[in-house]
Amino acid sequence: MSRVMLITGASRGIGAATARLAARQGYALCLNYHQREDAANQVLEQIRAAGVSAITVKADVADEDQVLAMFDVIDREFGHLDVLVNNAGMLEQQMRLEKMDAARWTRVLGANVIGSFLCAREAIKRMSTKNGGRGGSIINLSSIAARLGAPGEYIDYAAAKGAIDSMTLGLAKEVAGEGIRVNGVRPGVIHTDIHASGGEPDRIERVKASVPMGRGGQAEEIAEAILWLASEQASYTTGALLDVSGGR
Q: Known catalytic residue: 236?
A: no
Q: Which domain holds residue 51?
A: 4-244
Least confident of 24-33, 43-52, 98-107, 195-204: 195-204
Q: What does the pLDDT average to over 146-159? A: 96
Mind giving me the DSSP string for the chain?
A: ---EEEETTTTSHHHHHHHHHHHHTT-EEEEEESS-HHHHHHHHHHHHHTT--EEEEE--TT-HHHHHHHHHHHHHHTS---EEEE----------GGG--HHHHHHHHIIIIIHHHHHHHHHHHHH-GGGT---EEEEEE--THHHH--TTT-HHHHHHHHHHHHHHHHHHHHHGGGTEEEEEEEE-SBSSTHHHHTT-TTHHHHHGGGSTTSS-B-HHHHHHHHHHHHSGGGTT--S-EEEESTT-
Give pTM, 2 decimals.
0.95
pLDDT at residue 48 is higher than 80: yes
pLDDT over 90 percentage in the chain: 85
The predicted pLDDT at position 192 comes to 79
Classify residue 243 as left (phi > 0), alpha (psi -120 to 50) or beta.
beta
Q: Residue 195: its pLDDT value, please? A: 53
- pLDDT band for position 206 (50/70/90)? confident
Q: Express each pLDDT in 157-169 by its tens digit.
A: 999 999 999 999 9
pLDDT band of 194, cuts 50, 70, 90: low
pLDDT over 70 for what percent of the chain?
A: 96
Q: Are 155 and 97 in contact (CB under 8 A)?
A: yes
d(CA 37, CA 25) in angstroms, rounded, equals 24
84: left (phi over 0), alpha (psi -120 to 50) or beta: beta
pLDDT tens digit sequence for 224-243: 999 999 999 999 999 999 99
What is the chain's mean pLDDT, rounded?
94
CA–CA distances in Å: residue 54 to residues 17, 37, 143? 15, 15, 27
- Binned at pLDDT 50, 70 and 90, residue 198 comes out as low
In this predicted model, what pLDDT tens digit does every residue of 106-145 receive, in sequence order? 999 999 999 999 999 999 999 999 999 999 999 999 999 9
What pLDDT is attached to residue 11? 95
Mean pLDDT throughout 12-32?
A: 96
**Structural domains of the chain, count:** 1
Residue 60 is part of a domain; what is its CATH number?
A: 3.40.50.720
